Amino acid sequence: MAGRKTILLSNFIAPDSRDPRLNIKSRYRMLVDGKSVDAASGRTIDRVSPGHAGVVVGTWPEASADDVRLAIAAARRAFDTGPWPRMSGAERSRLMFKVADLILAHQEELALAESLEVGKPIAQARGEIGFCADLWSYAAGQARALEGQSHNNIGDDRLGLVLREPVGVVGIITPWNFPFIIASERVPWAIGAGCTVVLKPSEFTSGTSIRMAELAREAGIPDGVFNVVTGYGDPAGQVLAEDPGVDMVAFTGSVRVGTRLGEIAARSVKRVGLELGGKGPQIVFADADLDAAADGIAYGVYHNAGQCCISGSRLLVEESIRDALMERLLDISRKVTFGDPLNERTRIGAMISEAHAQKVHSYVEAGVAAGAELLLGGERVGREAGLYYAPTVFAGVTPDMSIAREEIFGPVLSTLTFRTAEEAVAMANATEFGLSASVWSTNLENALQSIRRIRAGRCWINSVIDGTPELPIGGYKKSGLGRELGRYGFDEYSQFKGVHVTLGRPAPWFA
Ligand code: NAD
């Protein structure tokens, strides 16, 4: 087996505390009914850059339940009496294209804020903002193509119409790992369908979501259509789930909170969309291009410091090629640059919070205690400078270990081996999650047959964490309910009304 446990500090890019971009200290206000507002209490939340110890980079309001209710009331008015739901698709589309253009025009500013709030590499953040403009563009294009159906085959004297209508007011609750992307995967689909929105981003990373709504206002999206409230899960998020003025809750985050919101929604028979956790398998067959697979596996597990719901955190490798693959993977893992999010060369940035870094480390300790072989990493680095965790690789993992089953949400790879395709698929399916999966093979038939048997909503053959607005995303099993993106994404935010039209005189019931 190639590799011993080593941490190469030479790959660690120490954050530069004199970087002038750290003086940003942005002060944000919530956007409610087209106006920028503070919490009525005046309370705020400070965000310290996770990559730069002690440096506050953004401040936003801490909304109370009443602050959120004002935003819900604004969204309700905009839906019930405002122009948006009644506007033509073409007009909605035109305004949404403008939002996409404005996002691109502010790419650098948004990328810097996203990088500082989340701790992600600036180059990655820049790419993500570009992708978000594309998400808005796609949804803008589709917004004028949404249609219902007609049924002209139900009898000569009858015509059936299926009207597509917006669901109403949607509460969108997002996590901290990809704030701008996750909001861009939901808000344009919801408003494109004619809904109005109250977005509650994570309390850790709220700034860029506020900027998104401000850009939408600048583009001419009417007041009250896209509101943003900031604050803690309870009360701000919880009110969105509980308030009868909200018709649907679209939640992205942990299984723990998602389950709770599902229960609340069930009590009031409110529509709910849930995108929750994952434990993505990456299956590598012996016939795979091993260089490409090793590169993809590294990307899949280290991207966003592993804080990614579709992270490929479980490597399932065919036994005969394990050593050859691990040699390549360890080589990349030893060389990959991690550290300062503002350095253009950085590939892996910081962890979101001290508590989360500790949680990741406790999983690593559990893996060691359970007898897994720690080949690389497994410790925090540059602790005085920020929240950094070294790229970490485990081999000799067995399916019963917590590091094989549970979502670690850090740059930690768990490697297991298999002998047959059936065994690989069974192992891939042996978690409570079903969000994503990758298969690496040069035999397309074999790869497709495996993918068909894996219970996961977002799958890749010979790639990982790839995405395009056209294809749906979403979870099987405990990874969630519903689908976002593509044409399917609009159905989540649509009601379908059947209209029976009688042509001519109906046959009498009581003659
Ligand atoms: P989290 O569940 O702690 O928080 C997500 C959001 O819910 C935040 O805005 C938070 O303030 C809010 N929230 C917390 N308590 C709430 C409550 N009682 N009522 C209403 N809202 C509440 O998740 P997180 O730590 O921000 O994100 C990490 C998790 O999100 C991981 O499990 C990850 O897999 C998952 N995630 C899933 C996807 C996906 O598309 N499936 C994408 C990204 C992250």
Report the separation in Å between the CA atom of 257 and the middle of ligand 1, taken as the mean of its atom positions: 7
Mutate to test the pocket of ligand 1, among 117, 186, 252 (most ligand atoms within 8 A of CB): 252
pLDDT at 2 over 50: no
Is residue 1 scored above 90 in pLDDT?
no
CA of 182 to the centre of ligand 1 (A): 11
- The pLDDT value recorded for residue 477 is 98
71: phi then psi, degrees, rounded to nearest 5: -70, -40
* pLDDT value, residue 7: 55
Ligand 1 pocket (Cβ < 6 Å) reads: 173-177, 182, 200, 202-203, 232-234, 237-238, 241, 252-254, 257, 260-261, 275-278, 309, 407, 409, 435, 475, 480
Pocket test for ligand 1, best of 135, 202, 405, 407 (most atoms within 8 A of CB): 202
Which residues, 6+ apart, have CB-to-CB distance to 476 below 8 Å? Answer: 434, 435, 455, 456, 457
Q: How far apart are CA 258 and CA 479, in angstroms?
A: 10
**The two three-digit tokens of residue 122, written as one number:** 């600036």
Assigned token pair, 288: 């795979």
pLDDT of 6: 52
pLDDT at 511: 78
Model pLDDT, residue 4: 47
- Over residues 405-418, mean pLDDT: 98
pLDDT band at 506 (very low <50, low <70, confident <90, very high): confident
pLDDT at residue number 3: 42
Local structure of 447: helix, strand or coil? helix
With the most atoms of ligand 1 within 8 angstroms of its CB, the residue from 206, 254, 274, 405 to mutate is: 254
Average pLDDT, whole number, for the chain?
96
Could you give the domains of the chain? 18-276+480-496 (3.40.605.10), 281-461 (3.40.309.10)
pLDDT at 81: 98
Residue 303 pLDDT exceeds 70: yes
Residue 133 has pLDDT above 80, yes or no: yes
- Residue nearest (by alpha carbon) to ligand 1 atom 11: 233
Of the candidates 448, 435, 437, the one whose C-alpha atom is nearest the C-alpha of residue 482 is 435
Active-site residue set: 275, 309
**Average pLDDT estimate for 296-322:** 98
Residue 369's pLDDT band (boundaries 50, 70, 90)? very high
Do residues 175 and 182 touch, judged by C-beta distance below 8 A?
yes
User: What confidence tens digit (pLDDT) does each residue in 264-275 have?
Assistant: 999 999 999 999
Q: Is a pLDDT exceeding 70 seen at residue 5?
A: no
pLDDT digits (tens, 9 = 90+) for 177-216: 999 999 999 999 999 999 999 999 999 999 999 999 999 9
β-pair type (338-339, 476-477): unpaired
Using the mean position of ligand 1's atoms as its centre, give its distance from the Cα of residue 242 in Å: 17
**Which residue, by CA, sits nearest to atom 13 of ligand 1?**
233
What percentage of the chain carries pLDDT values higher than 70? 98
The answer, yes or no, to whether residue 145 has pLDDT greater than 60, is yes
pLDDT class of 9 with cuts at 50, 70, 90: low
